[in-house]
């Protein structure tokens, strides 16, 4: 008798709370993976950055020594400077993507084919983009090199020039990034309300004013997404640097993520602690942007946008 009653009670408890519990049960696998692969490693990085460790032998606690060295390391400042150049110049992808999207947003025969051609660089792997541009810039046989040689008499090997190399890599990165922003804007343009445009036209709005006051406000969600993916893309610009220059010549094209990899994991890198301290700095920089984005999203949601 008593047995049956507890059974009934537990069943009813489950029934009563089913609705409340279900979302958490569905969340558990995602949360576990997020904890194991993202949250816990973040704290591990903080922890490891206090050690001198080659990844094989004994860890040795050195406190903030890694950071002290980092702030006295020219290579770190070069990487930081390059990261800032990346952030600023990568933003060009947003207006350029918008321009192309507006240009392609018309009804002509075969427009789908043109759109997919413009979208193509985003589909291919970053490694392929890097290789294509590396050959494009290659001294003696690269198209770009030969073009400059024809025009000015002497070729410029972009990837061997410490002052130009970062710009050369960013140009390669912009190619797929512009395509990405373009796709975001193209979908956004589909959602633009034709009646508002009609109304604006009746009020004699056209050209830039039409774009600025009527179209762009309606594209706000697309612009937000484009800025977010571009900022993140700029900060994790690792693959192109690795493929095109390997950080060279003599480290002048390094970015923080690449420097971290080099110190901790590459052929000559045996410094887990130092690598982790670079990762921590990169994380803090990213946190500034990430909190900004999250704050804006929460704010929008509250306003019911």
Listed ranges 10-18, 94-102, 228-236, 247-255: which one lies at the site for other proteins (CB under 8 A): 247-255
Q: Which of residues 90-129 bind other proteins (CB under 8 A)?
A: none
Q: Write down the least CB distance from residue 59 to other proteins, Å.
A: 12
Q: Write down the least CB distance from residue 78 to other proteins, Å.
A: 11
A 10 A CB-CB count for 194 gives: 7
In whole angstroms, what is the distance from residue 199 CA to residue 193 CA?
10
Residue among 8, 21, 127, 265 that touches other proteins (CB under 8 A): 265
Nearer to other proteins, 145 or 180 (CB): 145
Whether omega for the bond prior to residue 188 falls within 30 degrees of 0, making it cis, is no
Q: Write down the least CB distance from residue 150 to other proteins, Å.
A: 17
Residue among 46, 59, 62, 69 that touches other proteins (CB under 8 A): 69
| 78 belongs to the binding site for other proteins (CB under 8 A) | no
Paired strand residues for 51: 61
In whole angstroms, what is the distance from residue 255 CA to residue 169 CA?
11
Residue among 160, 171, 205, 211 that touches other proteins (CB under 8 A): 160
**Tokens describing residue 277:** 């301290």
Nearer to other proteins, 238 or 283 (CB): 238
Residue 61 DSSP code = E
- Closest to 159 (Cα-Cα) out of 144, 138, 180, 173: 138
Q: Which helix (H) or strand (E) holds 273?
A: helix 272-303
Listed ranges 21-29, 34-42, 138-146, 194-202: which one lies at the site for other proteins (CB under 8 A): 138-146
| 267 belongs to the binding site for other proteins (CB under 8 A) | yes
| 278 belongs to the binding site for other proteins (CB under 8 A) | no
Give ∠ CA 41-43-47 in degrees, rounded to 5. 110
Q: Which of residues 43-62 bind other proteins (CB under 8 A)?
A: 54-57
Distances (CA, A) of 148 to 138, 140, 151, 187, 248: 12, 11, 5, 38, 22
Residue among 93, 94, 104, 138 that touches other proteins (CB under 8 A): 138
Q: Is the dihedral of CA 132, 136, 140, 141 positive or negative?
A: positive
| 135 belongs to the binding site for other proteins (CB under 8 A) | no
| 157 belongs to the binding site for other proteins (CB under 8 A) | yes
**Tokens describing residue 261:** 């990899």
Please provide residue 205's backbone torsions phi and psi, each rounded to the nearest 5 degrees.
Answer: -85, 135
Nearer to other proteins, 177 or 245 (CB): 245
**Tokens describing residue 8:** 């009934």
Q: Write down the least CB distance from residue 35 to other proteins, Å.
A: 23
The site for other proteins (CB under 8 A) is made up of 54-57, 69, 74, 137-140, 157-160, 162, 245-246, 248-251, 262, 265-271
């Amino acid at each position: 008798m008593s047995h049956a009653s507890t059974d009934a009670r537990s069943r009813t408890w489950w029934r009563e709370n089913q609705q409340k519990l279900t979302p958490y049960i569905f969340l558990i696998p995602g949360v576990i993976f997020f904890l194991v692969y993202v949250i816990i490693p973040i704290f591990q990085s903080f922890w490891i950055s206090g050690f001198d460790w080659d990844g094989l032998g004994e860890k040795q606690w050195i406190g903030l020594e890694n950071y002290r060295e980092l702030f006295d390391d020219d290579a770190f400042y070069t990487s930081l400077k390059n990261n800032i150049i990346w952030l600023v110049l990568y933003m060009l992808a947003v207006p350029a993507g918008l321009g192309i999207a507006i240009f392609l947003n018309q009804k002509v025969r075969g427009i789908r084919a043109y759109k997919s051609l413009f979208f193509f660089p985003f589909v291919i792997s970053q490694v392929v983009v890097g290789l294509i541009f590396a050959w494009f810039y290659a001294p003696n046989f690269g198209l770009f090199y030969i073009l400059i040689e024809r025009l000015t008499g002497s070729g410029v090997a972009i990837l061997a020039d410490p002052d130009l190399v970062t710009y050369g890599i960013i140009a390669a990165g912009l190619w797929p990034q512009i395509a990405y922003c373009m796709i975001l804007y193209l979908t956004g343009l589909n959602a633009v309300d034709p009646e508002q445009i009609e109304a604006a036209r009746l009020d004699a709005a056209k050209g830039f004013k039409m774009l600025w006051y009527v179209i762009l406000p309606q594209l706000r969600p697309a612009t937000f997404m484009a800025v977010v993916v571009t900022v993140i893309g700029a900060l994790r610009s690792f693959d192109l640097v690795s493929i095109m220059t390997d950080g060279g010549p003599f480290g002048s094209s390094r970015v923080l993520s690449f420097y971290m990899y080099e110190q901790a994991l590459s052929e000559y890198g045996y410094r887990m602690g130092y690598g982790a301290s670079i990762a921590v700095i990169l994380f803090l920089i990213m946190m500034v942007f990430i909190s900004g984005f999250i704050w804006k999203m929460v704010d929008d949601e509250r306003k019911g946008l």
